[in-house]
Structures are given as structure tokens and as C-alpha cells.
Structure 1
């Protein structure tokens, strides 16, 4: 028998013994823990998750309650599935549950958890979030890149118009991903992929981003069975190490290019790119590094960790929201027409949409909110971890308990959302449904809430609204091969970002009077 098989058998025997010891200690200390389903020895409740964990956990919560106790391997876990319970975790006891569990695979692509998403809660995380919020994600910084965003969207409109004139169907899902990727890369690095000779070519870049997202969505045995984790039986850690090397090689080259440019321009009165050119994020981060303004140790690894955080988090999410929204509008022609009428009134049939128009587009806002509610792109959020013992609505939550917030279930709660499975943007029109998505209304928290909410929310929302409004205003969309709207496949593919399984293949028909 192969050596690795003996090693695995030995590890599982050890696990079984540790499980018995673990359970015996819990019996002596057991307090009022949240209710939950019966688990299996060693595995706990891992076998109940299936291919769509957010749906499986939603079904279990309907039986066991909105604060549900579970165990994944050796990791005690609480699953939260109602707005009231989420408010307790993310507002009332926000500091207590602000921790992040250590996750093996992410350790490698976060430079030892130096990024915002996975960094442990504490002074370093607070200072890094403050730095990023002020220096990189402020409204002023976002607005600096407005001309770039509008220019990239116009390039996409031009390509779609040419395809429409030829009567061709396009893979809009892929085109949206490329658009958002290019916008993010220009904002982060000052150039798109394919420009010059980069460390990654265009195809390889898309592949490594996709692989990182897919690996990150998998349940890694190493996170739940530390004794088995050293064997890396799924190969996830090994693959993440390989991706981390690719990303690091790429980021090092980008940073070196920026350092060389800064040195060449250091003694000049203005940079060669001109006074009106927006500093990209690498320029800003390297300026902080060189100035010593950071109140903590700040080196290249921190710069790379934040850049990679924003690159991976920002590439898929905005494109996926825009893809879901367009798919729902095409599937519901009456909603598409209503949005087009609003755009005609606000913008006119002789002009394209500009960012200044967005604040007047109320139905666009409703469409985006309903898309975020119905198609939660991060249905389970990133897990939290309790930093100390806590009482949660009468239940005892021990320190180091993992907290999973099922925002997919929260935003389909029938007691809050009538007919929750239907796409109805009008539910946000007036009355008590004038909710925002900033984390103040716990019935609608697509970006999370509290200290660990998504800091890039405004960047993402601005991009989605610009893309969606432009494509709806400029084009009518026809389904190919005689497909009917009712036949569109809206099945989802679970991941860190949960998108549609089927790509959106459609025929664009240009509808503006000029341009």
C-alpha cells in the first residue's frame, strides 16, 4: 500500500481519537449552545453543505432557527440567517465578531494575511483600512478615474455596435469581464493587460484570476482538520502557492516599472503623463511607502497584498452584478423598457450616459438593488470569528467560533420580501423600501455591514451603474436562435463570486439617433 495511504489512515485514526477527546471536554463545559442538526463523527456537518452551501444552510435554518450551531470538522460554527440575527453580529457585537479565521490557501495569496480581506482584526487592520479608505477608495480618488471609465465603456459600445451591424451574437459575459478587468487594471496599475510586454499575457491573467476564485470557493480540508492539512490531499495549498508565485512575479514587475518612472520624474516639475493624469494605485501606495506616512511597518509585501486584494475582489464582482442585471432585464422586457424610458428622459436619444446622469436615475437604482438582493454575488460573505466568549440572544458563543452570515437567505426572507424569488425592482420604490446598501438596513446587506464590510462598495456600484445604464440606453438586446425570454437559463454557479452558469449570448441592436 502506498505510503500516503498509510499516512492518511493514520491521520484519520488520530482525528477520531482527538474527536472523542474534543467531545468529552465539550460535555464538561457545555452551556446553552445554538440548536442545529445532528452531525457525524469527525466530519461534523460538512456532508450537509452540497454544491450550493448557501441554499443547503438556508433549508437547515428553516428547521433549526436563524442562529444555528454546527461543526465543520473541528471548527465550531454558527450560521446566521435572519436580519435580526445579522444585526446582533454585525452591529450590536460588531467588535466581538470582527475576527477573521486563518485559512491556509488564502494565506499564500494575501502575503501572510496582510491584505484587508483576511487580515486579523487589530491595530494593523484598522490602520490599513483607514489608509486604503482615505488614499485609495475616497470619492475624490474614484472621481479622478471617471474619464478612464467612460472611455473604456465607449470602446465596448463601439465593439458591440460593430457586431450588431454584422448581425452577430456576442458573449456579453466575457466582454463585461474584460471591460471591468481593464478598468481595474488602469486604476490600479496605469495600464491594461496586453499593453507592452507584461509578466502575464492577457489569456494567462484571466486564467489565474479565475483559478484563484475557484480554489478560494472550495472547502479546504486543511482549514477544518489541521492534522490532515499537512498532507494537502486536495492539492489546494500547492495550487495556491503556484498562483501566488505568478501574481508576485507580475506585481514585482509592475512596481519596478513605477519605481523607475518615479525616479526619472523626481526632479521634474510635472510628470510626463501630465498634470491632469490620475495617479494610479501603485503610484499612491509607493508614495506612502517612500514618505513613511504609514504608522506601521509598511513594505513592498503590504503594497502587493493590497493590490492583489483589490485586483481579485474587484474584477469578478462588478462584472458579475452587471451580467445578472442585464440577464434579468432581458428576461423581463417590461422592466427593460421602463429603464430605457427613464434614460431617454434623463439623457436623450442623441447622447450617451455620463456619470452626472446617475443620481437622477431612480429606476436604475431600483434595478441594481433588486439584482444585488436576488443574486447575491457573495452569498455567505467571508467568515467572521469570535474574539471572545459572547451571549447571542441567549445562546453561548465561545471564543474562536466561526460565524457564517448567509446573506443570500437574509435577502430572500419571505417575512421581509414578498415573493422573494421574483425580480421586482419596483419593491424599492418609495414607502418603507427606500433602503440603501451601505449596511444600515440589515434586510439588504450585499456588501456586508460593520467593521468588516466591503470598503470598495462605492467603486463597484459606480462601475455597475455606468456599465448597465450605457448598455441599456445604447442597445436593444435580442436572444439568438429564436430563444424566448422565458427560456433563459438563470442557474447559478457557487463560488466566492456566484455568477450564472451559462454565458449571456445576445445580439446587440444599436438604438441611439447619433454618436
Structure 2
């Protein structure tokens, strides 16, 4: 009996040693991880990031290559920085890259990702996307909102005209924010709320919400350092924003529930979906509010950020501003306002917007999550790895765009095959694949019409540039959608228009 036990013990021990040796051998010989910068204990590569991660990661990619693994504390993160690697990840392996990481901020601000942008890939996400595509993002629906865009742009033009007549300066960033919020609230909620008590604070909430959503708490990566987030008051900031948003949305939803007549805003469609027990889509009140949060706050930030950067670049390049104004005047000859039909003929405006989206994508880092083990460009990536697609690096790559890739030159898009559909991975400012942003069709008509009327009606002057050249700076704010750090303050002068 003892001999038998000894034999079994020895056999088990030898088997374990062989298996351990085999596993170590297969692990070291078969796995081929991407290159990784040297990292510090505990914090990993966090010290190599800055307030603008897209810029820091772009610099690192120049040294370590277009595909690299960084460790943010205990969290491995794959950084994709070239068109070829993005093609392999987002097209060849689209399904395995179709999830989003649920960060602490997504968990707290978007209820663990129950919205369209961050919901896990699956049936719930498909139902939400279908609901929005059918009732909000369809071409017919977007065209039906034309009168709303025209009315709100007219109101903004009137404000600029008053400032021009009184030789006053205006905060163009604030005007564009208000315009965007008013259009989106009318589309989504049925009316605008900026004129009500506390309504003007909504612009501030939008910015704070997006700043927080783009924040990465230290405790998320290094749990032992979570106390630093507490000292900085991060949780309190989130609670305050959440409370303000919830109070506002509860008032809106209650208003629509108590309405005597049928209302046709998107919130009414959500309420109808919630009450319909025959549909496979189950939407509770919390989920309904989360969808409204995303449409109202994330959607508006993306839109006004694009307009803000476009006007910044045009003011920095007066020759482009003149060329655009000449085109607008040649197309819109007989009316004070540019119509949406006339906008469709403005080819140079289209090139200007495409160039701004290349240099200033609203979301320069596209987050994804690897759902299964996968091999990308010959490198092994483990399931659960977070992914950052660095649009900033890809769309400024000199191998694609030439030695002047950092320069604003709309003409580079003349007769270019690159579009906004996300099929070419040299240029995809709205993302690509299953998780491509579906709201660009809602945003671009407002952006194009606003810019066309703004450039036609007014000569804008920026004073006090950082180099004394009366050109606005390019300093960026922090957050998920990267807007200007400082507002764009301009003096409007009525342009001479011959009708």
C-alpha cells in the first residue's frame, strides 16, 4: 500500500513538472505580443500619458510602432496607430473588436453602458440601434427637421447682426453650443429649454458631462491609489452632474407623459416603446433616460465641436475663408440666407469640413474591447484587452498624407476617393464597422448649413492671438470630445452681399 502511494505521488509530481515545463515552453515560444514601452511597477505606463493622451500615444507609436501594448496600472491596452493595423482590427476581426470597455465613468454616467455608444454588442444594442436608425437617423426623418435647423440658425444670425451693429464681441463657441443644444432638444424632446430658468446652465452641463466621460480615474487602473480620486472630488463631481441631468430629464419625461395631445418628439417614441409589451425590446425608465442623455449631451458636443474647430481653422487661414465665401456667393446669389439645397452644391465647404475632421476628429481615441483571443498583424492579443484606435495618429500619418500632414489644406480632398463612411482606414472620423457612429447624418446638415450662412453673412475678426497675429490658438480641452480649451471670441462685421 505504501509503495503504491509513493508511486502515485512520484508519478503525479513528475507529471506536474512536465506539464509546467510544457506550458512554459508553449507560452514563451508560441505567443507573440506586440511591442511594449518599458513600464514602472504598479502604475505601468500611466506616467507616459499627458492631459492629451491622443498626442502622447502618437509620439510613443513613432518609437514602438503602429501596434503596441501599454499597461495602465493593471489594465493592458492595445494602441492602434496606422491604417493597416486599423484595417486588420476593425475589418478583418470586426466581430472580436465590436465591444466597448465599460469604464468607471461609463458605469456611473451611462448606467454601465446601456446607451447606443457603449452598450455591449448583442441583442439589446441591436434593438437600440434599430430604434434610433428608424426614428431619428433615417434620411427622411433628418430632412423633416430642416425647418428646425433654419429657424435656429436664423436666431443665431440675428444675435450676430445685433453684435455687429453695436460693434460688440461675441462668444462664438457659446453661440454654436446654444444653437446645437436648441436644435437637438427640439428634435429629441419636442421643444427647447434654454430660455427657461436654469436652462442656460445646460451648456455648462454638456461640457462637464463630456469632460467626466473622458476621465480615467486612477483607482480604475491602480485600486490602491483610489484615494487620490476621492481627494480630487471626482465622485462628487459625477454625483452632481448625474443629479442635475436626472432632475432635468425627469421633468421632461413627466411633461410628455402628462400631455393631453399626441407629441411626435423622439422621447415620445421611446415612451411608446416602453409601454408596448409586444415588442422584444424591453426599455425601462432608467434605460430611456440613458438614451436621452447620450443624444442630448454626447451628440451635441460632437456637433458644436466640429463647427468650433472649422471656424478656428478658417480664421487661421483667411485665404481658405475667402475661397469658401466666393463659392457660397457664386451658388447663393439671390437670397440673404443659404438654403439646404444650395449647400448641396458647395464642394469646397465639403472639403473644408473633411479636412477639419481629419485634423480634429471629435473623438480622437476610439475605444474597443477584445472579446476573444485574436492575432492582429502577426501579434497575439488576449481576450479582455482594451483597445484605443488613435484616429489622431492615423489621420496625420505622413505616409498617407504627405510631409504637410499637420497642415490645414482642404484642397487635398479634391477628387479624393476618401469619404465619411468608414470603409477606408486612412480616414474614418466617425469610426468604422458595427460600432461606427450612426449620428453623422443628423449632425452634418446642421454643421454645413450653419457654416455656409455664417461665412456668407459675416466677416469675423479674432484679436489677440498668442503670437500677436490675430489668429486663434489650437489649444485643446480635455474630455471625450476634444473641443477648444478657450472659447472663440470674435468681432462680427456684416459682409457686403450683392443680391
Q: Same fold (TM over 0.5)?
A: yes
Change beyond 3 A, Cα 1:26–1:99: farther
Change beyond 3 A, Cα 1:122–1:227: farther
Aligned residue number for residue 393 of structure 1:
377
Compute the displacement of 1:445 (Å): 1.2
Secondary structure of residue in 1 paired with 2:398: coil
Change beyond 3 A, Cα 1:229–1:258: same
Aligned residue number for residue 255 of structure 2:
257
User: Is the Cα–Cα contact under 8 Å of residues 169 and 480 in structure 1 kept in the other structure?
Assistant: no
User: Is the Cα–Cα contact under 8 Å of residues 66 and 81 in structure 1 kept in the other structure?
Assistant: yes
User: Is the Cα–Cα contact under 8 Å of residues 211 and 478 in structure 2 kept in the other structure?
Assistant: no
User: Is the Cα–Cα contact under 8 Å of residues 68 and 78 in structure 1 kept in the other structure?
Assistant: yes
| Structure 2: gaps of 5 or more residues | 1-22
Matches of residues 178-189 of structure 1 in structure 2 within 5 Å?
A: 178-189=178-189
Determine whether 1:298 maps to 2:296. Answer: no
User: Is the Cα–Cα contact under 8 Å of residues 463 and 470 in structure 2 kept in the other structure?
Assistant: no
Q: How many residues align?
A: 472
Aligned residue number for residue 123 of structure 2:
123
Change beyond 3 A, Cα 1:414–1:116: same
Aligned residue number for residue 146 of structure 1:
146
User: Structure 1-normalised TM-score?
Assistant: 0.87
Compute the displacement of 1:187 (Å): 1.1
User: Is the Cα–Cα contact under 8 Å of residues 440 and 449 in structure 1 kept in the other structure?
Assistant: yes
User: Is the Cα–Cα contact under 8 Å of residues 69 and 79 in structure 2 kept in the other structure?
Assistant: yes
Q: 1:492 aligns with which of 476, 486, 497?
A: 476
Change beyond 3 A, Cα 1:292–1:509: farther
Aligned residue number for residue 309 of structure 2:
324
Change beyond 3 A, Cα 1:421–1:232: closer
User: Is the Cα–Cα contact under 8 Å of residues 274 and 282 in structure 2 kept in the other structure?
Assistant: no
1:194, 1:49 → 2: CA distance? 37
2:34, 2:464 → 1: CA distance? 52
Q: Deviations over 1:242-268 (max 9, x none)?
A: 32222122111101110111xx22xxx
Secondary structure of residue in 1 paired with 2:41: coil
Determine whether 1:469 maps to 2:452. Answer: yes
Aligned residue number for residue 358 of structure 2:
373
Larger Rg: 2
**Range with bigger deviation, 500-509 or 435-444:** 500-509
User: Structure 2-normalised TM-score?
Assistant: 0.90
1:99, 1:222 → 2: CA distance? 22
Aligned residue number for residue 113 of structure 1:
113
Aligned residue number for residue 137 of structure 2:
137
1:26, 1:290 → 2: CA distance? 57
Change beyond 3 A, Cα 1:26–1:238: farther
Matches of residues 357-506 of structure 1 in structure 2 within 5 Å?
A: 357-381=342-366, 383-418=367-402, 419-430=404-415, 433-480=416-463, 485=469, 487-506=471-490
Compute the displacement of 1:287 (Å): 2.1
**Range with bigger deviation, 443-452 or 239-248:** 239-248
User: Is the Cα–Cα contact under 8 Å of residues 96 and 370 in structure 2 kept in the other structure?
Assistant: yes
- What is the CA RMSD across the aligned residues, in angstroms? 2.2
Aligned residue number for residue 213 of structure 1:
210
Aligned residue number for residue 239 of structure 1:
237
Compute the displacement of 1:86 (Å): 0.9
**Range with bigger deviation, 358-367 or 232-241:** 232-241
| Structure 1: gaps of 5 or more residues | 1-24, 266-270, 274-278
